[in-house]
Amino acid sequence: MTTTALTHTPQDSGVPASARDFSVEERVVIVTGAAQGIGRELARQFAAAGAVAVVADLDIDKADTVVKEIHDAGGVGVAVKVNVADESSVVAMVDTVIEQWGRVDVLINNASIFATIEKGPFDQIPVAQWEQVLKVNVTGSYLCVRAVASHMRTAGFGRIINISSDAVTRGVGNYLHYVTSKSALIGMTNSLARELGGHGITVNCVRPGMVATEVERAVNPTVEGRERAASQQCIPRGMVPTDLVGIMFFLATPASAFITGQTIACDGGYTHSS
């Protein structure tokens, strides 16, 4: 495997931000669950902005397709197969990235079980399904953080971004396993920010609203349901994956060095934080 030299190694400092600090160019960015949906678009957009996009997914064929899209657009990307719920698989993924690029600047914990979940009362959720959702959505994110943390400490720079859901604040019924898992990511974000802040590593969480993607769901919202949700937003239109790009870029750069332990809503103003 060929190692590609990058021209700069980012580190955090207290100096005033410059234009360079707002750039994601040459960042090495791992996006889990990047073979489709939100993750796919984030990987494509980071690559388009000059980052190295690591398309990490269990479905390596789809991941390869995303990397081809990135390459066809003139970007840099690499597909890596990973099962985020398996520690050895996660370690192997990070080792592959370190071997090829020498560092990990950004980890976006996007992989989760959602589209395949069928709605149901909490007391009818099979325990095996409950455990599977928590293992992927919570333990998977933890394992990924654990695998990249030592490399980020050594570099004195790191950006970890967890993706939660507005379902947490709305308390959506009949999705208890999913809502619980996304709630846990907020607590994980807060605690990790305390442990990693002294090493130049920030940990933040983004809470999207209802995002329309190409992914088919076990329970697809109706057109009326989407329109009703959009009408309750301050920005009354449907949300698409590119709506997340701006906040994700910012949290991935040195410009956000003094922001950590935060959960930021990106939902068109559907909810308001105090």
Alpha-carbon radius of gyration of the chain: 18
Q: Which residue type does 132 have?
A: Q
Helices (H) and strands (E) in the chain, counts: 9, 7
Q: Which residue type does 205 have?
A: C
What does the chain come to in residues?
A: 274
Catalytic residue among 142, 175, 178, 270: 178
The rounded distance, in Å, linking the Cα atoms of 230 and 171 is 18
CB-based contacts of 67, cutoff 8 Å, min separation 6: 53, 55, 77, 78, 79
Is the separation of the CB atoms in 262 and 202 below 8 Å?
no
Task: Say whether 142 is catalytic.
Answer: no
Is the separation of the CB atoms in 140 and 184 below 8 Å?
no
Q: Which residues are catalytic?
A: 178
